[in-house]
Amino acid sequence: MKRLTAFGCAVAAALSFAGTAPAFAQDPGPLKLDITRGVIEPLPLALPDFVAETPQAADYARQISEVIAADLVGTGLFREIPSSAYISQVTNFGAAVQYADWKAINAQGLVTGAVSMDSAGNLSVKFRVFDVYAEAPLGSGLQLGGSTTSWRRIAHKVADVVYSRITGEGGYFDSRVVFVSQTGPKNDRKKRLGVMDYDGAGLQYLTDDHYIVFAPRFSPTGDRVLYTSYETGTPQIMMLDVGTVTRTRLPVPAESVTFAPRFSPNGQSIVYSMSTGTNTDLYRMDIATSQITRLTNTPAIETAPSFSPDGSQIVFESDRSGTQQLYIMPAGGGEARRISSGIGRYGTPVWSPRGDLIAFTKQNQGRFHIGVMRTDGSEERLLTASFLDEGPSWAPNGRVIMFTRESQGTGGESALYTVDISGRNLKRVPTTAGASDPAWSPLLK
């Protein structure tokens, strides 16, 4: 059985299961949940606690159920029906579903599951998703396995499957976020890199707070992180192995200032900004050979590059037109075209994993916004507004954006927030201290 090692977790691959459970009908397709323009009324979902099939699994069954519910309800797309309203009680995972009882309480979707633990302390979690009004399961049942330390990852994986089967798009719960953790007063902040589950759980620190760090970025496989550090006295790009927490400096001239790094989609090269003399331009480095290619050569400040998902183009910010604006050019360098056209200054562009949108920070009339636009600059939408919102990062499925929001005043604090691309469901991500510069990982393997 394949095991997972990322971030020290060990979760078995999803497996179809058989046994005494009833046969599954043909998949009728996702429930009618239109999430392209924002959902006004969340879909009612019944999420009874998973059945504990062995006594030792009781606490895990309850905790896994709670995390699945929090994941799904937290999207703003689902409403959990309280257990006090249930007519049927799920006490046997193999029992037939009493659809009439779930229809009576207006449940449109139903998730059932069971948890067991073997003598070695390993968990086994099986679950099904049902379309109540179609009176049919959505896809086949699945089973996940892993150690007790990986129970949260198992729960996130279950939630991803439920989300995908109901909405028709990929989930994002089994993912991590690397960010800058901040402590101390505003004029003397201590900063270090932290990594956590997307919902703030499972925090680990990757660096100490002896040096200023900022702008971390995950590799496409989630095993490495690029970031900028003042460890040498000037901004320099570092690459950190998440598993071993060892770091190396990007092999560039020591006297240069390098920052704003990002991996290419295949993970084989890095694009970044480098200042030499009075120029700040974009460069690309092949990781295996350390060969450097200069991508821009203008008197302007060019920074914050981000690849398109297919690796063929780069979006970046530049003040070559006199104000901070967004441009797109071929990934190998060449002529750039401006895509931003509204009033104000645009920065920190990030290409959506879907390839259809670019998220950005906009400053206009003393307010900061997180926004999105099409890759040709059309259909600009501002999703947030505050004293200081900046630095968007996409969820793996391109549905949600995480960003930094800083409050005003000498006692102001930075915090992480998420918002749906429709502009709905703005909420704060729980962290143990101040936080900024989030970067979302891909889905974990």
pLDDT, tens only, 106-140 = 999 999 999 999 999 999 999 999 999 999 999 99
Is 57 within 8 Å of 145 (Cβ atoms)?
no
pLDDT of 36 above 70: no
0.85 exceeded by the pTM?
A: yes
**26 pLDDT band (50/70/90 cuts)?**
very low
Largest CA distance in the chain: 73
Three-state DSSP class for 103? helix
- In this prediction, residue 49 has a pLDDT band, given cuts at 50, 70 and 90, of very high
CA dist list (Å): 418 to 12, 146, 347, 380: 29, 29, 18, 19
| Burial (CB count <10 Å: 0-12, 13-18, 19+), residue 246 | exposed
> What is the tens place of the pLDDT at every residue in 100-109?
999 999 999 9
Is the distance from CB of 403 to CB of 416 less than 8 angstroms? yes
Task: Tell me the average pLDDT across 344-356.
Answer: 97
Can you give the pLDDT at residue 20?
30
